[in-house]
């Protein structure tokens, strides 16, 4: 028999051997079922963070594990010098739901952003053979922590220890079209932004702003790159949030729920943005049969089990219940905003303290910035799970006053 290890021994081992770049909560998660997680001591947690919006189907969703296991028994890896059926099918499904025409698979969202940046630079180089083109990004954005993705992340705190960033990135204010227009010049080649800022505070782009940026790109021959790594794959009630904004990007980055726990991301492009040629870009693991089989099954489940309909129904219910919470706790809640199953409440105290207390009460939450509690549960939660969460939230908001 396998010896049962104590929670403390596992934490001690991790602290000794893992690079300390996360301030982890003192829980060792062991397994999940439905929308619940369990630690090594058997304590049950209601999951309202889904592994940072990754586990969109919760845990052991019917049919998903079986699809992954079936692929394990067939083939895990081939490299991209050969074709494999799951990658071909997953790319077709992404094109169908996104309105794009070509897909490149990555291992993560950050890598998808790196690819999108290369798309933009190649687009500019193809026009005039020069290397001085500029990309406009947004303040308070978050696109990842590798050097390229970090360079278009509008947060000095993340960038400062790693300066200099890659050059020719200029920052505008999200939802302020005039600030974007002021930066466009004859060297601008692309605008990159989240359709719905997550880490930056749960701020959706307004339709007026998004359509204005799209027109700005059209009028100046710029690429519009939309980061839908967190808000995409159904989280706001449509497969991608830009579909609610009435626009179509030239490049969209996707990850998180695409694999529902397996490491897969992608960037999808329109014909005009399909600038990369053989030798320009690559990945050893990206698009391997295992992760693409998972992605294919995710799309099948979304369609067959009407996941988007559930997001719209339960998301509206969550919004109403959080409005009630905000009204009851006006002394600590500044604002409530969001859409679908991507919502947040802004506090006048530390959100970290609230998240820690929630864990004590069997609820897993996540913060966005210093003072916002983010609600990004599995997309399969029901109203009963919202009703289970609300009393715990009431309690912790009372405790942190």
**Residues tagged active-site:** 142, 227, 256
Q: Is the dihedral of CA 311, 314, 317, 319 positive or negative?
A: negative
Smallest CA-to-CA distance from 273 within 315, 224, 204, 230 is with 224
CA 48 → CA 37, 57, 81, 98, 160, distances in Å? 10, 12, 40, 26, 31
Rounded distance, CA 360 to CA 26, Å? 10
CB atoms within 10 A of CB 186: 8
Contact 232, 252 (CB under 8 A): yes
- In 276-382, alpha helices (H): 289-304, 307-328, 351-360
Contact 259, 294 (CB under 8 A): yes
CA 12 → CA 5, 7, 8, 17, 18, distances in Å? 11, 9, 6, 9, 10
Rounded distance, CA 177 to CA 216, Å? 9
Q: Radius of gyration of the chain from Cα atoms?
A: 21
Contact 116, 253 (CB under 8 A): yes
CA dihedral 66, 67, 68, 74 (to 10 degrees): 110
């Amino acid at each position: 028999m396998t010896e049962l290890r104590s929670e403390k021994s596992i934490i001690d081992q991790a602290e000794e051997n893992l690079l300390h770049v996360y301030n982890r909560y003192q829980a060792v998660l062991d397994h999940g079922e439905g929308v619940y997680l369990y630690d090594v001591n058997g304590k049950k947690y209601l999951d309202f963070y889904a592994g940072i919006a990754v586990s969109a189907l919760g845990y052991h969703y019917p049919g998903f594990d079986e699809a992954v296991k079936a692929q394990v028994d067939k083939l895990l890896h081939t490299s991209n010098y050969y074709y494999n059926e799951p990658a071909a099918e997953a790319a077709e499904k992404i094109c169908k739901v996104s309105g794009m025409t070509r897909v490149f698979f990555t291992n993560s969202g950050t890598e998808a952003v790196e690819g999108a940046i290369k798309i933009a630079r190649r687009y500019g180089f193809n026009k005039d053979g020069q290397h001085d083109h500029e990309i406009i990004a947004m303040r308070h954005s978050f696109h990842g922590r590798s050097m390229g993705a970090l360079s278009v992340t509008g947060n000095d705190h993340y960038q400062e220890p790693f300066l200099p960033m890659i050059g020719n990135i200029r920052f505008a204010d999200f939802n302020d079209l005039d600030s974007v227009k002021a930066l466009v010049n004859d060297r601008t080649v692309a605008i990159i932004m989240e359709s719905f800022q997550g880490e930056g505070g749960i701020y959706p782009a307004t339709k007026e702003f998004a359509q204005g940026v799209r027109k700005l790109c059209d009028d100046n021959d710029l690429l519009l790159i939309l980061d839908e790594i967190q808000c995409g794959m159904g989280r706001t009630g449509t497969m991608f949030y830009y579909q609610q904004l009435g626009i179509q990007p030239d490049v969209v980055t996707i990850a998180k729920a695409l694999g529902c726990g397996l490491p897969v991301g992608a960037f999808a492009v329109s014909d005009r943005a399909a600038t990369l040629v053989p030798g320009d870009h690559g990945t050893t693991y990206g698009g391997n049969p295992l992760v693409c089989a998972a992605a294919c099954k995710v799309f099948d489940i979304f369609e067959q089990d009407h996941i988007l309909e559930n997001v719209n129904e339960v998301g509206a219910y969550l919004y109403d219940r959080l409005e009630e919470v905000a009204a009851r706790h006006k002394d600590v809640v500044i604002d409530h905003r969001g859409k679908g199953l991507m919502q947040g409440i802004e506090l006048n105290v530390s959100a970290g303290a609230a998240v820690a207390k929630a864990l004590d009460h069997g609820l897993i939450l996540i913060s966005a910035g210093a003072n916002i509690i983010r609600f990004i549960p599995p997309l399969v939660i029901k109203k009963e799970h919202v009703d289970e969460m609300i009393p715990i939230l009431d309690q912790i908001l009372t405790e942190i006053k």
